[in-house]
């Protein structure tokens, strides 16, 4: 069964594939059904699995808490027509921002409103601005509204907070919106301000009520409905930064490269730490063929991001891991 096949939704809930290469390298791929858990759940599985492999049972025996007592099963289904993720005529590209480039980017997007943007905010604003520029060009200069949606781990935000090792599908969404007719929202400084507003609104309002399941259901449905609107361009982000995935060690040393399967749904972005652990970011982006041709040539993007740089300078291949 392919790791990202449709059969995975009706077959085994957790898949593991080991691939051995003639050069001596090893790649380990895992796939967890979203019916059971989220990216944090995958991180916990890898953490405890590697601890057991190394004989660190004092760490491996930490219980993974089941969150179903506070979040019992509910029907969060979304009408397929409103939440369908487009898969036709899309291309996916990988970009890397080194730590010193991110430092320069953060300095460029800082403002009186957001004097110290985070690296996720800065990189998100860069991607968002370049995507909006591509959409505007492919739409013959006609500006549309735009919405950026980030997934968020609600374990620490729930009331009362859930243990970080809670297993489950414990995510929600916060959004930032723009109207491209407003010049103040076209540059990256303005976009960072909108991102910070979106996070603040979520933290001060929805996050306080995360014990109410209907709030999470409403956020999921809202994210799906936004994608179905013809007057709005959208990007959905998943950030795996600070997940510590490069600390995973099954006994052969730490991985050369950890990545996720290329997102194959239109307008999806996945962000991760780079291997060196010094604050760099790698991201994968899926756009339509026309939009990607414009996006990957954007001068402001290329000022900070390298398109698909080689991994070879990091040293000899040991093993890699794909979530």
Q: Whole-angstrom distance between the N-terminal and C-terminal Cα of the chain?
A: 16
Report the candidate in 274, 296, 308, 314 with the shortest Cα–Cα distance to residue 98.
274
Token output for 22: 């003639």
**Catalytic residue flag (residue 276):** no
Apex 140 CA angle, 139 and 143, nearest 5: 60
Cβ atoms of residues 287 and 91 within 8 Å: yes
Q: What is each CA distance from 213 to 39, 69, 86, 173, 294, in whole angstroms?
A: 20, 12, 28, 13, 40
- Per annotation, catalytic residue among 187, 249, 265, 298: 249
Residues contacting 239, CB < 8 A, separation 6+: 120, 150, 151, 271
Q: How far apart are CA 199 and CA 39, in angstroms?
A: 20
Q: How far apart are CA 170 and CA 292, in angstroms?
A: 32
Q: What is each CA distance from 58 to 54, 65, 174, in whole angstroms?
A: 11, 17, 37
Q: How far apart are CA 234 and CA 266, in angstroms?
A: 9
Query: Counting every residue, how long is the chain?
Result: 323
**Catalytic residue flag (residue 265):** no
Report the candidate in 29, 250, 64, 52 with the shortest Cα–Cα distance to residue 164.
64
Apex 231 CA angle, 228 and 235, nearest 5: 60
DSSP string of 272-321, one letter each residue: EE-TT-SS-EEEEEEEEHHHHHHHTT-HHHHTT-EES--SGGG-S--EEE
Q: What is each CA distance from 188 to 90, 93, 101, in whole angstroms?
A: 25, 21, 15
- Per annotation, catalytic residue among 34, 56, 57, 59: 34
* Catalytic residue annotation: 34, 249
């Amino acid at each position: 069964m392919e790791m990202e096949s449709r059969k995975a939704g009706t077959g085994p809930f957790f898949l593991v594939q080991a691939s051995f290469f003639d050069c001596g390298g090893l790649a380990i791929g895992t796939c967890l059904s979203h019916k059971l858990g989220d990216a944090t759940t995958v991180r916990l599985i890898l953490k405890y699995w590697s601890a057991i492999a190394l004989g660190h049972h004092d760490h491996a025996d930490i219980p993974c808490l089941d969150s179903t007592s506070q979040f019992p099963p509910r029907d969060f289904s979304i009408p397929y027509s409103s939440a369908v993720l487009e898969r036709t005529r899309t291309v996916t590209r990988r970009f890397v921002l080194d730590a010193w480039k991110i430092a320069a980017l953060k300095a460029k997007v800082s403002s009186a409103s957001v004097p110290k943007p985070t690296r996720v905010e800065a990189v998100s604003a860069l991607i968002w601005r370049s995507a909006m520029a591509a959409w505007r060009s492919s739409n013959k200069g006609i500006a549309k509204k735009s919405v950026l949606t980030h997934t968020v781990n609600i374990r620490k935000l729930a009331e009362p907070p859930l243990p970080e090792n809670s297993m489950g599908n414990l995510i929600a969404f916060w959004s930032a919106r723009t109207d491209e007719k407003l010049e103040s929202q076209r540059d990256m400084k303005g976009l960072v301000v909108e991102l910070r507003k979106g996070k603040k609104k979520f933290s001060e309002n929805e996050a306080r009520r995360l014990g109410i399941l209907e709030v999470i259901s409403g956020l999921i449905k809202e994210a799906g409905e936004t994608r179905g609107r013809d007057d709005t361009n959208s990007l959905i982000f998943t950030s795996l930064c600070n997940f510590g995935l490069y600390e995973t060690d099954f006994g052969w040393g730490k991985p050369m490269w950890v990545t996720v399967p290329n997102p194959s749904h239109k307008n999806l972005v996945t962000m991760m730490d780079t291997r060196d652990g010094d604050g760099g970011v790698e991201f994968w982006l899926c756009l339509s063929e026309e939009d990607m041709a414009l996006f990957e040539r954007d001068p402001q993007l290329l000022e900070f991001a390298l398109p698909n740089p080689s991994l070879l300078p990091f040293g000899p291949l040991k093993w890699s891991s794909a979530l």
